Amino acid sequence: MSGHDALGREHDERPWGHYTVLDDAAGDHKVKRITVHPGKRLSYQRHSQRSEHWFVVSGTAVVTLDGDRHTVVGGAAIDVPSGSAHRIENVGEADLVFIEVQHGTYFGEDDIVRLEDDFGRAQQN
């Protein structure tokens, strides 16, 4: 469910958890706090117009980046270059919380190409 939090920031509930936009005032970057529930994962996707930097605040993530799997724990970060296929999943027993900094020229949801998705949202060829 899309909407806003108590501070008026964009907030969206998703099948895997939720996110809150912390900053999107500048034209060249956007910052989100993302929470992924235990056992859930985001779609395996790519973007053509932005790169992403993920800093894990708490929890343990497995990040798939162009087919390679990386474990990222609280206090660590990983970069997702523009055009790279990527996914993050929560392999722990508590919520995974990370900060996503998007950098690029466009941040719209229509720049997401879903390659695989647990919730039926992948593009059909």
- Tens of pLDDT, residues 58-103: 999 999 999 999 999 999 999 999 999 999 999 999 999 999 999 9
Decide the pairing of beta strands 96-104 and 86-90.
Answer: unpaired
- Tens of pLDDT, residues 17-65: 999 999 999 999 999 999 999 999 999 999 999 999 999 999 999 999 9
Overall pTM > 0.85 = yes
Which pLDDT value is given to residue 1? 63
Question: Identity (one letter) of the amino acid at 83?
Answer: G
Q: Which domains does the chain have, with CATH numbers?
A: 2-116 (2.60.120.10)
In angstroms, rounded to a whole number, what is the distance separating the alpha carbons of residues 67 and 72? Answer: 15
